[in-house]
Structures are given as structure tokens and as C-alpha cells.
Structure 1
């Protein structure tokens, strides 16, 4: 874990304009900066960066956040990965909190393997361009494939000399550990001597999402019955094949912008398509898709289009594994290329524009394609037909999230028509598979006591369903008085440490937390309650933090909420505030004292009005004279409090 001291050092050096400006061309407009949003396609700039507030906001797509959330969203990093990226940028030496010896050893080994792989990348690239054999054999091969020097350098392609131990000797002479060289798969032991594992092969480095080298794919250039066409790095502490898709590092931004991921089989397919300008493409390296790979795709998009060679014998086998993609909520389409064509050859034949047009025209829905293909094979065989119906029902049952209900029903309707079966019967069969799966999951939950299942609908989803029935908007159901409550949060974050009373040396936070009211209890919004709770804990411990601590909170949902709160301007306060509560509102940094009093008064007054209503209701039902008397006394007391607050009196009250 990164120490809090290191996190504070990173946060203190952050310059949001510099960070966002590394990825977006920004122009100064007044106090802010303006540019084209990197998260959606737009021609007129609507992406604003505020250095004063340390946040960004796109008024086109609604994207917003801070420096860390920008790096996380743009680069698809985790919170810790984003911190490490910033630490490297600002040359902050990261301190780690106490970790176990085993974890520390694992981290050190992983760092060593990355260093060795980076050296190998540089060595193979240098050999390709600056060695006679590399030029005559490796570079000639890439040029025959139509790759330009720019493309070769972009993908950091290389060549390993066809000698026994040229690379091994060079690496060992540089001081790299032989055991670690073997772990990476770069070096093997032959006749008790270190030997090059990839000799005589062109090299395709495999990058992680941040551009570090995880491993290599090495392709042989001569036909051989004994040697495999490709050798890939063995799995080790940094390279796990099932979690990697070749080309993700180069494709991630294009996938994000185009909201679609194209999946091919080979390294050269990816490189060729990128060179042609089709950049939203990655490769599975000829293996069946895994759940981790599908989740990697879903980080960037929900739309997956798989390109298959026209004569691919493995299409049907691959289809069975794509049920996992349905479970992950991906919209899967298939495109079959003409016979004897692969993506590499076909894009070079058609060109990028025609290739994209072909994909759009020949996309087939995965579920319907699977059904039609299996129907052809089943023919008139009743057993195969029965098996087919069960298979397709099981596939459809995996589309079981509330937001995909319409999509599921469309599949049921289309499949029942194609199969010539009763639609309600297929509905019942699909529901049976859903029910069976939930029963198994509940049984597993009972044994293991895990977290609640993903199948549980969120409060927002339930609210949305109820709103659809009643005509009430979801926003009105969920928001309530949230805007006014968030104003208190904004005041604490921006002005909590500012002086409230110079005579008594009180801060704004002192004033708010010494009023005889628990504002966390007064709040209705759960996010406001949480922020107030965390802020109060820091205040009580004497370790009060400024807005940065919350703006760069490790919980990205909380961080995003903070960014939105700090971004809001006049909309924070009710437009009916003055009319309803007779309280004048004043805005701006220089009016924070009046804002503080107005906001706390509003929240307290709202509570008093609620108590007045409840007391009146109790009085109506009262039958005993003592109970009626109590209600009248309470009414007088509440009315007096209401009057004092409305007149701006009784506000500076400390416990």
C-alpha cells in the first residue's frame, strides 16, 4: 500500500492543467481552460478544466472529476495505478506501508521482470534496425507484410539473431539474473548453457495497459515441422495469458471513443489494421476468450465485434465460450470474412474505409448467428433440435440484468420464430435456467457467506422501475433536498478552516460542529451523510484536511460526487429559498460567512418545519389534556425557533 505521506506529496504537486494538457490540447479562456472532450467525439469544444477548483467538466457528455479520476478514466487505471503514474511524473519517491515479506518479494520480482523485458525490447528493436541479419531477415519480413518503419517503431517490433546465445550473453554481461531471464522465457538452458529461446524469430512485445512489457510473442520465419510457428512467454508473476489482449495499450483510446472493440486472432492482424487507421482492435492470440479478457474489454466498451476468418474451423467452438460475454453484459456481434482472407490481408486489399463499411454491413448478432448455425447442423434430428432449444434458452437466460430485460424479450421473440416454437414456452424455459442459476448461487452464498449477489437490484434501479409505472422522474425520486445539503458540504470543503469569528478564533468548521444540531442526522442524502461523517472524524481527531483530501479520495464514487458538488454554482441553493424561508442568499468566495449561516439555518429550519408538522399531527390525535398541553408548549417553542432563524437570530450558538 502507498503511504499517506506519499499520497499527500503527490497531491501537493498535482497541476490539473498540466496533467489533462498531456492528453488534450487546451486553450485558456478566462480563469479556465477549454478543449475537445477526450471521452466523446465532438467538433466544438465543451470540455472545461478549472485550475482553481482542480476539476474538469464536459458539458457535452457530462464527464467530470479531478486529476486522478481523469487519469483513471482516460488510461483505464485503478486508483493505485493512477497514483503511481502521477508519482513517476512528478518524481515522488513512493513509500510503502508495512507489507508482508512474501508480498514485498513478489513486488521486487515483478519489478525485476519488467526491467529485463524492457531491456530485451530495446535489444531486439536495435537488432532489427541496426544489425545486418536483423535488416535482411527480420526487417525484410515486416516490409513484405506491408508494415512501415513508423508502424514497426510504434509497436516496438524486433528480431532475435539466429545464433545460440547472442542475447543471453548480452543480458548476463549487463548483470541480469539468469534465473529471472529464464522466468521471462527469453533464455533457456541447453547442454547446461544459457541459450536464446527466440533465435531466428521476429519479436512482438506484449504491453500492459500502461505500456510496460509483460512478455513477447516470437514468430518463426522458416517452415519447420519440429518448431512451433509462435513461441509465447511463459506465465510468470507479471504475465498471465488469460488476462491479456494483444494491442490493448495502443487501442484503448480508440475503443473508448468509438464505443466498440474489434477482436481478431493474430498479432499481425492488429498491427496491419492499426496501420490502416482501424485502431479499435485487439487480438486474443488465437486462444478462446476468458472472463478476465472480457472484463478488460468492458472497461472500455460494452460493444464487442469479433472478426473471424471465412474458413475458420474454430468458429463454432469459439461460440460456446461467448456465453461468458453475454453474462458480462457485452453486446456481441460477429463478422465472417470472405474465404481465404484474414483481417490483415483484407484491410490491405480494401483499404480502411471499405473495410469499416464491410464490418458494418456484415455484422451478425451472436445469439442469432449461433442459433442459425446450430439449426443447420441439427437438420431434422429431433435429439439435436431438443439440445439446441435448451442451449439457446440457457444463453438467453444469461441476459438477466434489469436494464437488459427488453433485449432478452427481443431474443425470445426472434428465436421462437426461427425455431417455430411457442414463445411463452421459451419464456418459461429461459426463466427455469435463471431460477436454477439463482438457486445454485444462493446455496453457495449460504455455504460461504459472501457479499450480496450482483442480481440484487440497486435502489436506483428499483426507483427507476417505480418511476416508469408512476410517471415520476427518477431524478425527483432520488434527489429531494440534496442540493441544499450539498451546499453545506461545499462550505466545509472550501472554507472549513477559514476564520468564522476572529474574536474567539473560531473557524467555519468550529461554528458548524458546535451548533446544537447533528447535521449528519439532519441530512437525507446518504452521500452527504458519509462526507459529513468522514469530515467530522478528521475534525475531531485534529487532523482536518482541505478539499484535496476528499477530491482525491480513493473511493472514486465519492471523489466524483465531490467534484460535482464543487462544480455546482447557483443551482446549489433552492431558487425558492427566499420566498419559502425568507432567508437572503449570498454567493461567492467572499461571502462564505453569510453562506454558512444561511445554509445551516436552512437545514435547521427544514428540520423545525418537519417537527412542527409532526407536532400538529400529534395534537390532532391527542385526547388527554396533558398530551394536548405538551403539544401546545412544543408548538410555541418550535414557532419561536422558527422566528429566530427566519430573522437571522440565534445562529451563533455553541455547545
Structure 2
């Protein structure tokens, strides 16, 4: 029976509104074939170490291997950077795929046919169009590359241009650069001869019709293919080489089913892993900037094409890193270009910095002149925080004009108001404090102005969503109020989380084992005097409830059921809590005369310890709550009631600590 892949994990390959149905049979076939060592081994060189495999982490730069794969638990974990997950999660993280894209990748690897429910005629037509455009683009890329390397004109004109720019043959082939002959219809004739439809050739922008005849749109130009995140060519940029005042310097693919400029950044496919490893994305303007930096070994770089950044492009960057550094020309136009659209970057939660290239150069020429090492040093020492950079530039422009300074303050407040995520509250406060000092204005006044802009934006959004309710929209929380400050027991809740996760660990690792003659470990845990509604971690509760329901239905869930759970939060927590087994040398006992106890032989103590520590944490929380009630007690009767509860809780605490062998210090 077909099942819906959850919306959050489905592919966007065929449009934002597509709900892709993959059959349960397909998913189960894939899960049954998954070998995490085989899958990870496609990307990481692994060596067997005892029961596990070890290699260099693909997610951060390291020289000593700390990336461990457990075939028995079907999970990986890096003890250097902390990344962990299952086989599907590894493909999603490494290749930056959606869940459905990862499923399709695994299906192709294991030669499993993906079963889908019948699609509507409209979706079928869209899908066929997209596939047809991919095929045409692939042919075009191969044609342009062949022309560049294998024809006399291509070598004399196109290849010589790239070589003059300092591009090596390896980098030209890596980016699949090409050349279109300076003839009216050379490419069109080749494509039509191969049987490609004129309709699709026109949709890709490769061919136009003039006087009823097909003609090449990119003739006499060098070609820069544009790739999507999976490496497929979805469009082209074409640069003219002859001096022609009437023709534009660059022509780009017109928007179509595949090519949507606002959602693309040139070079993403080649940069995605380097961005993740460096935890920083360098953003430049043009194709050649990207290629030159890659050739210099600086690969965490993409290009915007010189336009203002869009929300979709910013979210694309955020898939790989939270740190964006923009490299632009240092002239006035470059400064203005650097500032466009960056308020949106703050709203997306990106940490934005800028480094302006000196001496009227661009990244392409500058890295070729000073070299990769000096270029990296320049970025590190010259990049400036976006807000302070904007403040510096605006102050210089305003001079001593009071009106312009007033406008500056208002613009700055509007920019700071974009930092509106709860987790960035402290950052927002730091900006307000430091900008107030630089501008020599009242800090509270800037706070009020920031809140005003935040309030106006919320009201505007509400009017768009619900015009009738806009009049009664509550005011936004002031920027001086700490989010979560009023939440009772926040510190205790954080302390409890570790114990709650520990209970999930012993349940997943030992739940199937026998507790006594009549029950399993899982049954024993669920019979324990523990109120699960007191568990604060919502994901822990969901795992316990799911596990308990299966046990009560007479089933014994396998650990992999939770590792590959459709709920990504459950899957992530299951992977995070599972232990990697420590390997003990077989010579340890003989060399050191120390008896080493295997964890499997002491699982009952492990289970009891997890239960008792969780109970102890809950009792401590109740003791604290009772102490607060005692301080508020208004009558002797209320005080006596609190004292009796205190004694009862302390007795329970002593009993549990006695079982644990714990000493109570307070």
C-alpha cells in the first residue's frame, strides 16, 4: 500500500507543491538492502577496527581519524565534530539531498525500482518537460565542450580565451566549459540532426527562430554551464568575445522549468562539500571569480551573478553553513552591490561579513596576483561584520548632516530588527549596545526604534494573512525582554534531559533482552513507577509511547525501526543516544590482570541505573517546587503539608540514592 513521504522530507525536484508518493514496498526494499559500511565507503576510506570502521570525517578537516561507522547499529558518528546519523542521513548530509532524493539515490545504487502512485496528467507533463530539458542541456554541454577542445575554431578562439584567463585544462573540464562556433546555426543543425525537438531547444534558450529559421543564440561565445545541486546542467551563461556594442556581454538561459535564477547560485554543486567543511560560504559576483578561486584551491565559493540576493538563494546557502562572507570589488558600485539584499540574510539567521577587494580588482584577478595563501589571509583579516560595515559606510556618507544621520539611525534600526529569531536575541542586544555607543545615542531609544520596525513588519505580515485581525495584533515583545526568562524551572528541565535520553538508550539497546522469567527489559521499564507525562523532552515521550504501543500489541521493535523512523526528530535522537561499543584488546586481561566486564553482561544494572537516575532527577525537581510552595505558604496548615511532602520525597530520594550508591551532598 502506498504511503506519503512526510512533506518535510520530500523532494522539491518537481515543484514546491508536489506531494510525491513512494510505496511502502519500495522503502522497505531499500531499508532491507542498506549496508552503511558500503554506503559510507563510497565517500570515505574506511578501515576496520574491531567491530567498527574508522576513517577521516568528510564533514570537517581532520588529520587523525575520528569518524566511526558501526555496522551492527547501522549508524555513524564523528567524535571530532559530533555529526552522526544513519545511512540515509549520511547521504542527505554529504550530498545535501532531500529525503526523497536520498531514497532515489539508494534505489539506484541497489537497482531497486521506485514504485509511485499514478501522477496527474499535469504532473506527468511537467515531469516529462523537465526530463526533456535535462536531456537537451546535457547534449548541448557535450557539444560545446567538444567544440572547445576538438575543433580548430574552438581551440583558437574559446580555449585561448580561457588560457589567457589563466585557467588550466583540468579546471576547464571540471566546470565543463565550452564554446559555440561563430556560425548562424551550427549548434541548431547538430541538435536537430540528432532528433532534438525545436520546441525544447527554444525553451532552453539555446536556439531562437529568426525569419522562420532556427539560429544559435550563443554563437561566437564561450559557454559556462550552470549545474543544480546534483550536478545536472540546468542552464548556461554565454560570454561574447568580439567587441560588439549592440550585443550584451553575457546572455543567460531564460527562466524555464529547470532554470529559475532567483533560486540558483553558480558553482553550488562544486562548492557544497567545501562550504560544509569550512563552515563558511564565500560569495562572489561572476563565473570567472568562482573558477579562479577553485583553481587556487579555495573551493567554498559560489557566485550570485551580480544581482541582489534572494530569500531562496540565502536558504540555499544556509543548507550548508550559517556563515556568509561576501567578496566584492572595493569601488563605490561594489560597496552598494555588497549591501543589497543583506537585511534578508540577517532575517534568515545568517552571520554575514564582507571583504572588499582592494586596488579596483576582482577576486579573479586578485587571487591570481597574490596567490591562494595571501588571499585566505586577506579574507581572514579584512572581513567585517555586515551591520558595522553598513554603519561605517553610512556614517561616511552622512557626514555632519543631521537629517542624513537621523535617516541612518532609522535604517540601522530596521536592519537590526531583522535579527528576530529567539536564539539570536543576545546578538541583537550586542548590536544595539555597540551601535548606540558608536552613534552616541541613547541605547533605550534605539531599542524602541528596533521594536517599532519589528512591530510594523509583523502587522504588515498579519494584514497580508488576515486583514480582519490586523487591527487587534498584539505588540511585539520589546527587544530588552529575554525570551524564555519567565519559564519556570528551565535550568532543571535542561538537567533532566540527559537522564531522559539515557532511558531511551537502554530501551533501544536492551529492550528485547530478558529481565526475568516473565518479562523483557522493555516490559520492566514500562511497569516502573514512573509517570511519563513528567518527561519534558517531547521526542523522548514520542519514542517511549511508540515503543510501548508496539510492546502492548505483542511486537518487539528493532532498534533500526527508530534509527530509520519517518519522523526525523525520532531518528536523530535514536542515533544520538546509541553508544558505540568500546573495543577491548584480547591481551588486556593477561597483560594487566584486570577482568573486563562486557556491557551486555551488566545490562540489568544499566537499566536500573537509568530508571533510578531519572526518578531521582524528578524527585529533586519536586523537592525544589515544594520548597517554593513552602516559602509561599500563608497558613501553618499549608506549611505542615509542605513539610510532610518534603519528608516523603526525601525518604524516596534516600532509597534511590542507596540503590545507586550515590552520596547526597545537599
User: TM-score per shorter chain, which class?
Assistant: 0.7 to 0.9
Say yes or no: does 1:291 pair with 2:296: no
- Which segments of 5 or more consecutive residues in structure 1 lack a partner in the other structure? 571-585, 614-620, 624-634, 647-655
Q: Which residue of 1 aligns with 2:573?
A: 561
Alignment of 1:395-434 (within 5 A): 395-434=415-454
Partner of 2:497: 478
The reply on whether 1:528 has 2:536 as its aligned counterpart is: no
Equivalent in 164, 175, 200 of residue 220 of structure 2:
200
Residues 394 and 522 from structure 1, CA distance in 2 versus in 1: closer, same or farther, beyond 3 angstroms? closer
1:627 maps to none
Q: Deviations over 1:127-177 (max 9, x none)?
A: 111111111111111111110011011111111122222222222232323
Matching residue within 484, 487, 500 for 2:506 = 487
1:608–1:168 Cα change, 3 Å: closer
- Report if the CA contact (8 A) 2:508-2:559 is conserved: no
Aligned to 1:116: 136
Change (3 A) 1:369 1:52: same
Structure 2 CA distance for partners of 1:541 and 1:234, relative to 1, 3 Å: farther
SS at match of 2:161: helix
Residue 180 (str. 1) matches residue 181 (str. 2) = no
Match of 1:104 in 2: 124
Q: Which residue of 2 aligns with 1:275?
A: 295
Give the one of 264, 268, 276 matched to 2:284.
Answer: 264
Structure 1 residue 486, shift from structure 2 partner: 3.9
Q: 1:537 to 1:100 in 2, by over 3 A?
A: farther
2:432·2:446 contact (CA, 8 Å) conserved in 1?
A: yes
- Aligned residue for 2:333? 313
Alignment of 1:501-580 (within 5 A): 525-535=537-547, 546-567=558-579
Cα distance in 2 for residues equivalent to 1:440 and 1:133:
57
Specify the alignment match of 2:254 in structure 1: 234
SS in 2 for 1:412: helix
Supply the distance in 2 between the matched residues of 1:360 and 1:313 (Cα, whole angstroms). Answer: 23
Q: Which residue of 1 aligns with 2:184?
A: 164
Residues 545/242 of structure 1: CA separation in 2 closer, same or farther (3 Å cut): farther
Q: 1:106 to 1:589 in 2, by over 3 A?
A: farther
Does the 8 Å CA contact 2:504/2:577 hold for their aligned counterparts?
Answer: no
Q: 2:394 aligns with which of 374, 381, 390?
A: 374
Q: CA deviation at 1:353?
A: 0.6
Range 61-70 or range 310-319, more displaced: 310-319
Determine helix, strand or coil for the equivalent of 2:269: helix
3-state SS in 2 of match to 1:306? strand
| Counterpart for residue 13 of structure 2 | none
For the 8 Å contact 2:330–2:359, the answer to whether it is kept is yes
* Distance change (3 Å), C-alpha of 1:36 and 1:598: same
CA distance in 1, matches of 2:181, 2:206: 13
Question: SS where residue 45 of structure 1 aligns?
Answer: coil
Give 1:328 deviation, angstroms. Answer: 1.1
For the aligned residue pairs, the C-alpha RMSD in angstroms reads 4.0
Instruction: Pick closer, same or farther for the CA change 1:123–1:320 going to 2, 3 Å.
Output: closer
1:73-84 matched pairs, under 5 angstroms: 73-84=93-104
**Matches of 2:283 and 2:617, distance apart in 1:** 57
Q: Secondary structure at the match of 2:455?
A: helix
Which of 175, 200, 209 is the matching residue for 1:155? 175
1:219 has 2:231 as partner: no
Structure 1 residues 547 and 438, CA, compared in 2 at 3 Å: closer, same or farther?
Answer: same
Residues 68 and 76 in structure 2, CA contact (< 8 A), matched pair in contact too: yes
Are 2:539 and 2:570, in contact at CA under 8 Å, matched by a contact in 1?
yes
* Secondary structure at the counterpart of residue 256 of structure 1: helix
* Cα deviation code 1:283-326 (max 9, x no counterpart): 00111111111111111112111111122525325514211111
SS in 2 for 1:218: strand
- CA positional deviation for 1:88: 2.1
Q: 1:299 to 1:91 in 2, by over 3 A?
A: same
Query: Within 2, Cα distance between the matches of 1:590 and 1:108?
Result: 58
Mapped pair 1:304 → 2:304 = no
How much does 1:67 deviate? Answer: 0.9
Give the structure 2 partner of residue 59 of structure 1.
79
Instruction: Indicate the larger mover: 25-34 or 10-19.
Output: 10-19
Gaps of 5+ in 2: 1-20, 583-596, 624-634, 638-647, 660-666
After TM superposition, the structure 1 stretch with the greater mean CA deviation from structure 2, 261-270 or 528-537, is 528-537
Residue 2 of structure 1 aligns to a residue whose secondary structure is strand
Q: Is the 8 A contact 1:34 1:45 kept in 2?
A: yes
Instruction: Report what 2:629 is aligned to.
Output: none
Task: Determine helix, strand or coil for the equivalent of 2:353.
Answer: strand
Give 1:523 shift. Answer: 5.9
- Quote the residue 1:50 is aligned against: 70
Q: 1:524 to 1:381 in 2, by over 3 A?
A: closer
1:577-596 to structure 2, matched below 5 A, reads none
Give CA deviations for 1:564-622 in whole Å, capped at 9, x if unaligned: 2333679xxxxxxxxxxxxxxx9756888x68996999799999999x99xxxxxxx9x
**What is the total number of aligned residue pairs between the two structures?**
594
Shift in Å at residue 21 of structure 1? 1.8
Alpha carbons of structure 1 residues 500 and 405: separation in structure 2 relative to 1, 3 Å: closer
1:62 shift after superposition: 1.5
Q: Tell me, in whole angstroms, the C-alpha distance in 1 between the residues paired with 2:194 and 2:566.
A: 40
Aligned to 2:225, the other structure's residue is in SS state: strand
Q: Distance in 2 between matches of 1:329 and 1:524?
A: 27
CA distance in 2, matches of 1:26, 1:449: 59
CA distance in 2, matches of 1:265, 1:152: 19
**TM-score normalised by L of structure 1:** 0.80
CA apart distance, 1:530: 1.6
The Cα offsets for residues 199-227 of structure 1, whole Å up to 9 and x where unpaired, read as 11111111111111111111111111121
Query: CA offset at residue 534 of structure 1?
Result: 3.8
- The 2-side partners of 1:213 and 1:182 are apart by 16
SS of residue matched to 1:416: helix
The question of whether the paired residues in 2 share the 8 Å contact of 1:488 and 1:599 is answered with no
Note the C-alpha offset of 1:93.
Answer: 1.8
Residues 185 and 234 of structure 1 are in contact (CA less than 8 Å); yes or no, is this contact kept in structure 2?
yes
Equivalent-residue separation in structure 1 for 2:557 and 2:128 (angstroms): 33
TM-score for both structures, normalised by structure 2: 0.79
Question: In 2 relative to 1, CA 142–605 (structure 1 residues): closer, same or farther, beyond 3 Å?
Answer: closer
How far does residue 73 in structure 1 lie from its aligned partner after superposition?
1.3
* Per-residue deviation, 1:125: 1.2
8 Å Cα contact 1:323/1:398 also seen in 2: yes
Whether 2:268 is the aligned partner of 1:248: answer yes
Are residues 189 and 562 of structure 1, via their aligned partners in 2, closer, same or farther at CA, if it must alter by over 3 Å? same
Alpha carbons of structure 1 residues 170 and 547: separation in structure 2 relative to 1, 3 Å:
farther
